[in-house]
Structure 1
């Protein structure tokens, strides 16, 4: 869906423009990947490219803002004592199905130091759940948070290679396979 162009309302619209850009980036990156043209983001947000670059001078800054909600959701779930690793896996699976670009950022090897911060936040959120699952006997005692992050990356790589209609089935099949390796 393309937003209709808005009249320039000046600096008073900065907050609204920023929110529109972040929402548009989230959608565009989810649909087209992290390498989507930024002019597509500006167009969907209903702003000019100059406005986009005034708020976000580069792609990484925009990606960080677009996917902060994903990370915050993972962190909030991890902090909930009534939720466990399976709940986190469910959220991560939904996020990778909805937006392969987000998981590419979290698990990607080519890192900007700012993207490393997202990776570290997700890893920290998972660390407590992994420890709790090991203590409860839900995970093998030797499974580490880094191995869980690797599993998430492996599944995300598979999900990224199939069409949108096949993502859920691919993710579920991959988790089923990895589950047998991770669980006692």
Structure 2
């Protein structure tokens, strides 16, 4: 791999492990963007380029596509858990964070439609684990007597909304998600990432 030359003609310094956390975060953010734009089959080289790292760096952090998608999924669920734990957001606002992840992250939709994981028990177990974490987090803010509080209604509604999220642009995906929540009679706060 060749490194771009800096203005005075020297190669950039190799900062090694000091930049590993930054590179990992950049790869996850890039994967979310690339997956949203091109789907889960997007080339990993495009993700590395978007993150500003070489493919070798990508493979040091994520040995395969599944590991990268899992990292995106884990961060998505973690952001929703963080939003709930902060205690500042209403259920509708937490649903806004969830909706942002649904519209931004194709990998997140894959979690909610784990049908493609049949036959791969560890992938299915991981998807179910993340789904359970998501449900636990959402239930913390779910008001008593809310229309989604009975039985499996909450996660069924999330799956229904995620199924409605499709389309070539982020704006269209967001509009469809909000329309699906409206059809379910559920109020959703501003669609944005936690802390955004």
Structure-2-length-normalised TM-score: 0.72
Distance 1:45 1:163, change over 3 A: closer
Please, what is the CA RMSD of the aligned residues? 2.8
Distance in 2 (alpha carbons) for counterparts of 1:149 and 1:23: 26
SS in 1 for 2:185: helix
Number of residue-to-residue matches in the alignment: 171
Distance 1:97 1:140, change over 3 A: closer
Which of the residues 16, 20, 31 maps onto 1:11?
Answer: 16
Deviations, residues 11-61 of structure 1 (Å, cap 9, x unaligned): 344344323322322221222222221111112223222221121112222
Task: Trace 1:1-184 onto structure 2 (pairs within 5 A).
Answer: 7=12, 9=14, 11-12=16-17, 13-111=19-117, 112=123, 113-130=125-142, 133=143, 135=144, 137-139=145-147, 143-144=150-151, 146-161=152-167, 163-179=169-185
Q: Higher helix proportion, which one?
A: 1
Distance in 2 (alpha carbons) for counterparts of 1:21 and 1:41: 7
Deviates more, 1:100-109 or 1:47-56: 100-109
CA contact (8 A) 1:78 1:128 kept: yes
CA contact (8 A) 2:73 2:107 kept: no
Aligned to 2:192: none
Deviations, residues 126-182 of structure 1 (Å, cap 9, x unaligned): 23333xx2x2x33266x23x32212112211211246433223222221111127xx
CA contact (8 A) 2:73 2:111 kept: no
